[in-house]
Amino acid sequence: MDTQSAKNRIQELSKELNDHNYRYYIEDKPIISDYEFDILLKELEKLEEEFPHLAEANSPTKRVGGEVTKKFETVKHKYPMLSLSNSYSKEELIEFDERVQKLAGKKVSYCCELKYDGVAIGISYKNGHLERAVTRGDGTQGDDITTNVRTIRSIPLSLRGDYPSEFEIRGEIFYPLSVFRKLNEDREELGEDRLANPRNAASGTLKMQDSAVVSSRKLDCYLYYVLGESLPFDGHYENLEAAASWGFKAPSKRNNLITTCNSIDEIIAFVNYWEKERSNLDFEIDGIVIKVNDYDLQEELGYTAKSPRWAIAYKFKAEQVETKLNKISYQVGRTGAITPVANLEPVLLAGTTVKRASLHNADQIAKLDIRENDIVQVEKGGEIIPKVVGVNLELRPADSKPTAYIQNCPECETKLIRIEGEAQHYCPNTWGCPPQIKGKMAHFISRKAMNIDGLGEETIEQLFEAGLVKNAADLYHLNENELLALDRMAEKSVQNLLEGVEKSKEVPFARVLFAVGIRYVGETVSKKLVKYFKTIEAIKHASFEELIAVDEIGDKIAESIIQFFEEPKNVQLIDNLQASGLQMESTEEDTLIKNIFEGKSFVVSGVFENYSRDDLKKTIEAFGGKNVGSISAKTDYLIAGDKMGPAKKEKAEKLNIAILSEDEFDTLINK
C-alpha cells in the first residue's frame, strides 16, 4: 500500500472505530460485535506499524495503552481547579439560595447534579482532539496523565458535532463499583490485600506508569464542567448538554443524573431523591452539587479564595446504622488468610438487609475494641460487604470482655501464624486445611487458569467430600466408574468432565504456572517468568537474585516463589502434574517470538524518521527490551535520533554505551 492510500485508510478506520466506541460506551447501543471491532482495530494497528509516522497521538489504538511514563510532568492549570464549599443540612441549602437570590435581585435558575466521588480531571481539547489531561494537584498545578486518560473508553479522543476549537472540560474519573469489586476479588485470589475504597483505587491506577495496565482496568468518567472562551451557550447546563453532543459522557436529564431547578423546593426534592436512590448506582457519590446556571450571574457572585460563591455541595451523611454484634466468626481463604466477620442482628442499610459485616483483621478489632454483644455502627462503602466502623460504648453490657482473637484455625485447628508486616493471620496448613485445599483447586480449574470444561466449584466440593481428590494432581487420575457413583453425575457430565481434564493438558505453561497458585504469582507475573526461564526446572532452581532480575519481579514475589519450591509437597504436586502430561515448558511457538533484546535496557532520544518515539519504544519492548528514562551505567543502548541533546551523547560515550542510529536499530531487529 502506498503512503497516500494508507493515510486514507487510517483516517477511515479511526473515524469508524471512534463511532463504534461512542455507540458502545456513551450511547450503550453497539451495532457491531466486539470481535468485529477487534478486526478493525487490528487492521489499524497493522497500518500504524507499517507507517509509524502516520499514527496519530489520538488514534483509537491508544486506548490499549502501552506507553510507560516514568515521571508525570507537572503543568499549570489554565483555569485554577477550585473546590466547593460544603453543607450538611437542608437549612444551609435554604440559606445559600436566599443569599444568591438577594444578590441577584431576581429569581434564580440552578443546575443540580451528582457529586461524584472520584478523582478530578481537567481535559483540554484543541480542534476536536484531546490535547492534555491534568489532575487537580494543588488546584494551581497538577500532573499530566494524558497517556493514562487516553485509555479510558468513555473519554472521547476525537470529538463529533459542532464543538468550540478550544476548551477544557472537567469531570471525575472513577471505578464503577462492579469493576472495583471484581478487581478486589482478583486481588484476593492472588493473596493480595483488598483495596480499601474505589476512589483511592482510581487515584492509584491513574498514577500507574504502564498505561497498558490502566487500559485493562475499566475506569469510567463523568464530566460536569465546561470552560472556555467561545462556548456555545451562556448557561452551565446548556453547555453540558452541548458537550454530550460532542461525544462526552455528561450527565443527562433522561436518567435524572442532572436537573435544572427554579426553586429551593425542587432542589431539596432532587437531594432527597438521590439520598435514597444512590445505593442503586454503580458508582459512588458523596453528595449533590447545586450550581447557579447563568454565567453572568456566576461572575457577579464571584469567588472566595478557594471556591465559587455560585455553587455549593450538599454532602450526604455516610449511610450508617447501629445494630447488635451477635458473634465474631472467622473465614479461611484459599491462601489461608483469616478474615474475621461480624455476624449481626439483621438490619436495614441503604436498601438491603445486612447480616454480616467485615472486621478486616485483628488490628482493626483491637483498634476499635470491638466485642461480641456490642452495639456497633455499620457503614456501607463501595464494597458489597459493609464494615463495622465503631462501637456504641454507652450500650456495652457490664459483663463484656475484650475479644480474644483466635489462635488456631477454625477449620483445621492448626496454630495460626502472622507474617511480619502483614495485617492478616494465616493458617499454615496449606495441604490439610479443607477450605484452602478446595479454594486452591477452584483456582486451578478457573477460566484464566486451566479452564477445565465440565468442572465447577460445586463439583470440586463434591469430589473433595467424596474423598476422590485431595489436590489438583488427583484430577488427572479420576475414572469414569468412581465419578458415575456420585450423586447428580450422569454419564454425559462425567464424559464432559473427563474430556475437559484431558484437554487441559494442552494449556500453555504460563497458565499452568498461574494455576498452581503460588502466592503473588498472577497471570502477568506467570507470563514474565515463563518468558524468562522457559522451563519449570529453571524456575524451581532460580535464586533470589535471578528471580528479581526479571522485569517487574520484586523481593516479595521472589521470596514467595522460593518458599513455594522449598515445600516438598509443592514440588511433589508439580512433579505429579508433569507426569500427567501438563505443559511445564514454553513450547517452540512461545520461544519463536524473538527476544533479541531480552534483559537489555534502552534510552530513546531525539526525533526519528520512520518511528514516533512511542512506536520505537513499543518495538523495543516487543523484542524483549526495556525502556528506561535516563542514561546510567546500566543502560545497554542509546537509540539516537535527530536533535538529540549533546549532553546525552557525551554521557553515553563516557559510560561506553552503544549508540545506535535508527537504521542500525532496524538492521538489528530485521536480522
Please list the active-site residues: 115
* Closest CB to ligand IVH among residues 83, 632: 83
CB of 132 to ligand IVH, least distance (A): 18
Least Å from the CB of residue 287 to ligand IVH: 8
| Angle 123-127-130 from CA coordinates, rounded to 5° | 30
Taking CA atoms, 600 is separated from 347, 549, 557, in Å, by: 59, 11, 22
Q: Where are the alpha helices (DSSP H) in 287-369?
A: 295-301, 362-368
Closer CB to ligand IVH, residue 81 or residue 427?
81
- At 38, list the grid cell: 477487534
CA distance 462 to 485: 12
Among 289, 325, 460, 515, binds ligand IVH (CB under 6 A): 289
**Among 10, 68, 84, 290, interactor with ligand IVH by CB under 6 A:** 84
Window 122 to 161, contacts with ligand IVH (CB under 6 A): 136
Question: How near is the Cβ of 351 to ligand IVH at its closest, in Å?
Answer: 22
CB of 301 to ligand IVH, least distance (A): 12
C-alpha cell of residue 663: 537504521
Which positions from 304 to 333 touch ligand IVH by CB under 6 A, shown as an x/- string? ----x--x-x--------------------
Contact 471, 433 (CB under 8 A): no
For ligand IVH, which residue has the nearest CB? 120
Nearer to ligand IVH, 202 or 638 (CB): 202
Which range binds ligand IVH by CB under 6 A, 37-45, 113-121, 199-207, 261-269?
A: 113-121
Choose which of 22, 110, 116, 426 interacts with ligand IVH (CB under 6 A). Answer: 116
Interaction mask 29-68, ligand IVH, x per CB under 6 A: ----------------------------------------
DSSP state of 68: B
Q: In whole angstroms, what is the distance from residue 140 CA to residue 149 CA? A: 20
Nearer to ligand IVH, 83 or 200 (CB): 83
Torsion angle, alpha carbons of 125, 127, 130, 135, to 10: -20
One-letter amino acid of 221: C
**Nearest Cα to Cα of residue 63 among 248, 220, 215:** 215
Largest CA distance in the chain: 88
Listed in order, strand segments (DSSP E) in 24-179 are 74-76, 86-87, 110-116, 119-126, 129-135, 141-143, 166-174
Nearer to ligand IVH, 115 or 648 (CB): 115
Q: Is 665 in the site for ligand IVH (CB under 6 A)?
A: no
Q: Is 120 in the site for ligand IVH (CB under 6 A)?
A: yes
One-character DSSP codes across 199-232: HHHHHHHHT-SBHHHHHHT--EEEEEEEE-SS-S
* Window 202-231: residues binding ligand IVH (CB under 6 A): 224-225
Q: Which of 82, 384, 562, 659 binds ligand IVH (CB under 6 A)?
A: 82
* Smallest separation, CB 288 to ligand IVH (Å): 8
Which CB atom, from 221 or from 337, has the smaller least distance to ligand IVH? Answer: 221
Minimum distance of ligand IVH from residue 166's CB (angstroms) = 19
| Shortest Å, Cβ 133 to ligand IVH | 14
Following CA atoms 421, 424, 425, 428 in sequence, which dihedral angle do they give, to the nearest 10 degrees?
Answer: -80
Nearer to ligand IVH, 60 or 122 (CB): 122
Measured CA distances, 626 to 189, 216, 539, 618, 636 (Å): 29, 21, 21, 9, 10
Least gap, CB of 222 to ligand IVH (angstroms): 8
| Min dist. Cβ of residue 87 to ligand IVH (A) | 12
Alpha-carbon gap, residue 119 to 198, rounded angstroms: 10
Q: Are strands 119-126 and 129-135 parallel, antiparallel or unpaired?
A: antiparallel
Cα distances from 237 to residues 22, 245, 269, 422, in angstroms, run: 21, 13, 18, 49
CB of 302 to ligand IVH, least distance (A): 12
196 touching ligand IVH, by CB under 6 A: no
Grid coordinates of 628:
528506561
Nearer to ligand IVH, 87 or 436 (CB): 87
- Among residues 5, 83, 256, 495, the one that binds ligand IVH under rule CB under 6 A: 83
Q: Which residue has the cell 471491532?
A: 37
Contact at 8 Å (CB) between 174 and 284? Answer: yes
Nearer residue to ligand IVH within complex by CB, 120 or 644: 120
Residue 175 found at the interface with ligand IVH (CB under 6 A): no
Tell me the CA end-to-end span of the chain in Å, nearest whole number. Answer: 24
Given the rule CB under 6 A, which of 81-89, 143-151, 228-236, 430-438 is the region that contacts ligand IVH? 81-89
Q: Which residue in 62, 77, 115, 527 binds ligand IVH (CB under 6 A)?
A: 115
Choice between 318 and 484, CB closer to ligand IVH: 318
Contact 310, 298 (CB under 8 A): yes
Please identify, among the stretches 80-88, 187-195, 523-531, 560-568, the one whose residues bind ligand IVH according to the rule CB under 6 A: 80-88
274: contact with ligand IVH by CB under 6 A: no
Residues making contact with ligand IVH (CB under 6 A): 82-84, 113-116, 120, 136, 172, 224-225, 289, 308, 311, 313
